[in-house]
Amino acid sequence: MKTNKSNNFKETSISKRKSFRKIKNELGAWGFLMPHFIFFVLFIIVPLIYGFIMSFYRWSILGTIRYVGFSNYIKIWNDSRFWLSVKNTVIFAIISIPLVITISMLFALLLKQKLYGKLWLLIAFVSPTFFGSVGILTTWRWIFASTPNGLLNYYLMKFGILNQPISWFETPIRAWACIIFVTVWWIMGFSVLLYLGALQRIPPEQYEAAKLDGAGPWACFWNITLPWMRNVLFFDVVRQVLLAFGLFDQVYFFTGGGPAGSTRTMIYYLYTVGFERQQLGRASAISWYMFLIIFVFALINLFILTKSVKSAEG
Amino acid sequence: MTKKHKKILRIIISIFLWAFAAIWYIPIFWMFITSLKESTLATSEFPPQWIPKNITFDNYKRIFQSISGISVFRGLLNSVIVAVIGTIAGLFVAILAGYALSRLKFKGRTAIFWTYVAVLAFPGIIFLIPHYFIIYRLGLMDSLSALILPSLGGTFGVFLLRQYMIGIPRELEDAAWIDGCSKLRFLFTIVVPYVKPALILLSLMSFLGYWNSFLWPLLVLSSPDKFTLPISLVRFNAGWGDPYRGIGTLMAGAFISVAPVLIIFILFRKYLMQGIYLGTTGKG
């Protein structure tokens, strides 16, 4: 009896110790996760739920909060300014993305070659992508100054392209041309780096073999370079679509959405509704509309990430 | 093509690209040159001068004074504080979480990890309005912590570190176990050096993210002594109507905001070139 009991006691104490250890381990693991997890819940999970709820309310920082059902969504749907901003953003994406990708590709191919003074070339073509919007955009606005001594006006007049100084953000076409040009200049570097990374992974034997077969540079590009770059190009298109839908700073600094709303993008529209008119509920609804529009691209992005999880584990 | 021909071709392409690079970089040159001119001169001189007649450093001195109640220097200081503390804090929580999600076993690990991945699909704009409201409710409006805290919850850093940490060989961990190494020590003596490239990339991206951040600080900051560098530059001449009135000082401020980034780029370009390809495509 006695021995049995003590045996029993021993067993339970061992299993207790084991489960205690397991619990201790689990707690330890949570201890590692917790510092991040708290912020994750507070600033990712809660905002997702909160933002969704807010979109069904008339909600401002000061003043009363009132449930309004789908009213926010309906009012936005019927607002021609919203649809104009959608159109503007989509057109911007359609024009700027192929431009950025082609030009970046060209520069990446050039910078892959053996060249002299490569560091300087990298600085010139790549570093602007890491500069902040305020420094870059105030400078560009200064170059676009409408006075005769605005740098762009001055040189265009000097080379006889213009007769008199013009105001660069006056007409929709001109304003968009400036926004797109500066955007390409600004963000191209990131894609160049991305493509350079991908180009370095192409085995050189492929080119040597093609050369032996008598393939020219053009054939090499189509049959070797492009297929090898397919994944990274695909990834970059998705990234840039998401980026294009975030267009705000250029509009803020150059045009303020004008003339007559022709450069107002979706985020700029959201900014005016949410923060200039303080209708946070309505602005929330706009952000969910935006989410719906870019949902497909977000899903593709997620798919790429999922694939990379599998490859890291496998 | 002979070797000599190749060399000549290389020189020609290089010279052509150098010329183009110089044109491409005109905005940065023009920013710096304007910062050496008195604003009144810069806006009135014709033709625009590439080599200023009277070089002045008054614009840089003015940064240390307050201009219509706003000190650009204070903005610079705030930007440094936010970028440094934000980067360190973000790295710290991401290392711990990445370690938990890759090397430790606990209930719900898989579910949490996939939630972390899934939220990456939501574009940042979704969070803007609720963040604004949460920061308001926490009473953190118009504070520097409002600029840091929301980004700490982001999951990309955790995701990236987890991808790198999962590749650490099991044997390394077992050996450390037998030596009686604690988890925390194992993490900081073995795991952290192992994922160094990812850490450097993350800290660079995070630092630049804070340093360049514009829309969010524009929304939450309202008092001049809390402004970051970009906000102080936007605000100091906002009331004047004419955006070019303080152009010399503005360009000096712009140059100060760009110069550290340029230095970082030159020093860390190897990491950026390697890292951006591996990092953004999720180490695929």
Provide the CA B96 distance to its chain's centre, in angstroms: 22
Comparing alpha-carbon positions, the chain B residue that sits nearest to A278 is: B129
Residue B138 has pLDDT above 50, yes or no: yes
Q: Is A25–B131 a contact, with Cβ atoms under 8 angstroms apart?
A: no
What pLDDT is stored for residue B284 in this prediction?
Answer: 41
> Chain A closest CA to B268's CA: distance in Å?
11
Q: Which residue has the higher pLDDT, A28 or B113?
A: B113
What pLDDT is stored for residue B77 in this prediction?
Answer: 95
At B241, the pLDDT band (50, 70, 90 cuts) reads low
Q: How many other CB atoms sit within 10 Å of the CB of residue A260?
A: 9
Comparing alpha-carbon positions, the chain B residue that sits nearest to A301 is: B121
Which of A104-118, B42-56, B220-234 comes out lowest in average pLDDT? B42-56
Q: What gap in Å lies between CA B95 and CA A14, rounded to an integer?
A: 34
3-state secondary structure of B70: strand
Residue B47 has pLDDT above 70, yes or no: yes
Q: How many other CB atoms sit within 10 Å of the CB of residue A13?
A: 11
CB A99 within 8 A of CB A88: no
Question: Tens place of pLDDT for every residue, chain A, 314 residues?
Answer: 444 555 555 555 666 666 777 777 777 888 999 999 999 999 999 999 999 999 999 888 777 888 988 999 999 999 999 999 999 999 999 999 999 999 999 999 999 888 888 889 999 999 999 999 999 999 999 999 988 889 999 999 999 888 898 999 999 999 999 999 999 999 999 999 999 988 988 888 888 888 888 888 888 888 889 988 888 898 899 889 989 999 999 999 999 888 888 999 999 999 999 988 889 999 999 999 999 988 888 888 888 888 877 777 76
Cβ within 8 Å of residue A307, ≥6 positions away: B284
pTM over 0.95: no
Q: Is B129–A274 a contact, with Cβ atoms under 8 angstroms apart?
A: yes
Comparing alpha-carbon positions, the chain A residue that sits nearest to B255 is: A135
What pLDDT is stored for residue A2 in this prediction?
Answer: 45
What pLDDT is stored for residue A99 in this prediction?
Answer: 96
> Chain B closest CA to A221's CA: distance in Å?
19
> Chain A closest CA to B263's CA: distance in Å?
10
Give the closest of B27, B123, B129 to A242, CB-based: B123
Tell me which CATH homologous superfamily contains domain B66-280.
MetI-like (1.10.3720.10)
b/e per residue B228-255 (b: at least 16 CB within 10 A): bbbbbbbbbbeeeeeebebbbbbbbbbb
Q: What gap in Å lies between CA A187 and CA A197, rounded to an integer?
A: 17
What pLDDT is stored for residue A200 in this prediction?
Answer: 87
Optimal mutation site among A142, A231, A254, interface B, most CBs of chain B within 10 A: A142
Nearest to A254 by CA among A244, A268, A241: A268
Number of Cβ pairs closer than 8 Å across A and B?
305
> Chain B closest CA to A43's CA: distance in Å?
5
What pLDDT is stored for residue B253 in this prediction?
Answer: 93
Nearest to B135 by CA among B217, B251, B248, B50: B217
Give contacts of B132 with chain A, Cβ < 8 Å. 274-275, 280
Q: What gap in Å lies between CA A288 and CA A70, rounded to an integer?
A: 12
At B267, the pLDDT band (50, 70, 90 cuts) reads very high
Give contacts of B11 with chain A, Cβ < 8 Å. 116
Q: Is B274–A46 a contact, with Cβ atoms under 8 angstroms apart?
A: no
Cβ within 8 Å of residue A80, ≥6 positions away: none
**Domain spans of chain B, in order of start:** 66-280
CB A228 within 8 A of CB A201: yes
Which CATH number does the domain A75-313 belong to among 2.60.15.10, 3.30.70.20, 3.30.70.580, 1.10.3720.10? Answer: 1.10.3720.10
Q: How many other CB atoms sit within 10 Å of the CB of residue A272?
A: 18
Comparing alpha-carbon positions, the chain B residue that sits nearest to A46 is: B130
Give the closest of B136, B149, B276 to A197, CB-based: B276
According to DSSP, the β-strands at B70-71 and B66-67 are: antiparallel
What pLDDT is stored for residue B95 in this prediction?
Answer: 95
Give contacts of B139 with chain A, Cβ < 8 Å. none
Measured in residues, chain B has a length of 284
Q: How many other CB atoms sit within 10 Å of the CB of residue B108?
A: 12
- Helix axis angle, B247-280 to A118-126, nearest 10°: 100
